Amino acid sequence: MALNNSLLGWRRLVIDVYNDYNYYLDLAVPPGGPTTLVFFTNKPRKRNIEALKTVLRNAPISSRNQMVKDAALNVVMQVLLSMKSSQIEEAVNALDRDHLDILMKYIYRGFETPSEGSSGQLLAWHEKVHAVAGVGCIVRVLTDKKRV
């Protein structure tokens, strides 16, 4: 019997490697800021908050390169808009003051370029961050020399 050897290639796959659980966000960010981020829509809840913390920690505030900043903005928007409304409060409580300031800056930048349904979600974020960090946070968005 002729064996079609080319169809036997699938036996060499180790199927367990391709489990959802093992995929995680590309957390090794290049020095210029996050350029790509690998996403799976049904990643566990804790990953969301970790993702948010990572992008805020690596936010390219000191960079002069506008493309890097825009790329970072896209990544942050993806993270913010993909989180469910119920998770927002938990995420905001997990951040410290400096990160809340950076988050508020991204929220306002996100308002500048609205996409489908983004403003509503961003408003929910804005409300939660304001409840924790007060008006001082918003003032710092306006007065900060280093824009996000």
Partner 1 sequence: MPESLSFGIDPITAHAWNKDRTKLAISPNSPEVHIYHFQRGEWKLEEVLKEHDLKVTGIDWAPNTNRIVTCSADRNAYVWTQSEEKKWKPTLVLLRINRAATCVRWSPLENKFAVGSGARLISVCYFEKENDWWVSKHIKKPIRSTVTCLDWHPNDVLLAAGSTDFKVRVFSAYIKEIEERPVSTSWGSKMPLGLMMAEFSNSTNGAGGWVHSVNFSSSGDRIAWVGHDSSISVADASKGMAVCVIRTDFLPFLACLWVSENRLIAAGHGCCPMLFEVNETGKVHFAGKLDASLKKETSGVSAMKKFQSLDRQARTETNDTSLGTLHQNAITSVCLHTGNKANATKFSTAGVDGLLAIWDFNNLESAMRGLKFN
Which residues in this chain contact partner 1 in the complex, by CB under 8 A? 61-62, 97-98, 101, 133-137, 139-140, 143-146
Cβ closest to partner 1, residue 1 vs residue 135:
135
Cβ closest to partner 1, residue 98 vs residue 127:
98
The DSSP annotation for 15-62 comes to: GGGG-GGG--------TT--------TT--HHHHHHHHHHHHHT--SS
User: Closest approach of Cβ 97 to partner 1, in Å?
Assistant: 6
User: Closest approach of Cβ 120 to partner 1, in Å?
Assistant: 25
Q: Where are the beta strands (DSSP E) in 72-143?
A: none
Cα separation, 2 vs 126, in Å, equals: 66
Let me know the angle formed at the C-alpha of 136 by 135 and 138, rounded to the nearest 5 degrees: 65
Cβ closest to partner 1, residue 56 vs residue 83:
56
User: Closest approach of Cβ 148 to partner 1, in Å?
Assistant: 10
